[in-house]
Amino acid sequence: MIRIVHLYYDLLNLYGDSGNVKALEYHLKSSGIDFETVRHSLGDKIDLSSCDIACIGSGTEHSLMLALDDIMKYKDEIADFKARGGYILSTGNSLELFGKGIKNGKKEKSALGIFNYTSVYGKRVVKDVRIKTELVEDEIIGFENHSGRLDVEKDIITEDNFIMTYIIGPILVRNPQLNDMIIKRILEKHPDDIDKYSPDHSLEQKAYDVFKSGMK
């Protein structure tokens, strides 16, 4: 049984970020692989003990601060999860939760400190992204829209199996190779299910190709 955890599903949900959970579910389901999605939010007891991948998405500044206060309770648990090789896909400004801190004008707050970056708020960054990464062969495409900036110049930051990006929303839908890579890696820990996995990414790939060729 694959276990997906959707963190702050009803709070950090600003830019279609639930699409990532849906994309994972879709390919597991169509391959006949058993999975379970657990949704956690403010005040719930977040449990990553048998989790394969956790997804977390974008929010308004206010929502992100509510999530920050809550997620700080799980600092050790999240660090353990990372050391065990668990996956976290963090899209949009939620990656700020995993850095050292968030500076917004005179306000400064500590964050989880799993990553070494700090985010500083300023003029909003709005841009399409196409980047080459070490994760997959194809360039990763997506869109960014955020007020924070990291003190490291990178669109996607990975360490162990934690993937942090300012790209908002359904990155796993728009980048079928990335979705495929993550599912395959997760299945390595579930040997009984490996042979069942038979993904069909043809439509996603066509969407990707049309985008790369300039929308025709």
Residues making contact with another protein (CB under 8 A): 9-11, 13-19, 22-23, 26, 41-42, 60-63, 66, 124, 126-128, 143, 145, 147, 168-170, 173-174, 203-204, 206-207, 210-211, 215-216
What does the alpha-carbon distance between residue 179 and residue 53 come to, in Å, rounded to a whole number? Answer: 12
| CB nearer to another protein: pick between 114 and 156 | 156
Phi, psi of 155 (to 5 degrees): -85, -25
Shortest Cβ 37–another protein spacing (Å): 12
Minimum Å gap between C-beta 1 and another protein is: 21
Residues linked to residue 5 through DSSP beta bridges, in sequence order: 38, 54
By C-beta, is 3 or 27 nearer to another protein?
A: 27
Is the Cβ–Cβ distance between 132 and 139 less than 8 Å?
yes
Q: How far is the CB of 43 from another protein (least distance, A)?
A: 8
Q: How far is the CB of 125 from another protein (least distance, A)?
A: 11
Alpha carbons 112 and 81: distance in angstroms, whole number: 13
Nearer Cβ to another protein, position 127 or 154? 127
Side chain identity at 18, as an amino acid letter?
S
Nearer Cβ to another protein (192/200)? 200
Rounded alpha-carbon distances, angstroms, from residue 53 to 37, 68, 80, 103, 108 = 10, 20, 13, 28, 30
> In whole angstroms, how close is the CB of 87 to another protein at the nearest point?
20
- Comparison of 161 and 169: residue with beta carbon closer to another protein: 169
Report how far residue 44's alpha carbon sits from residue 123's, in angstroms, rounded to the nearest whole number.
34
Beta strand pairing call for 35-40 and 2-7 = parallel
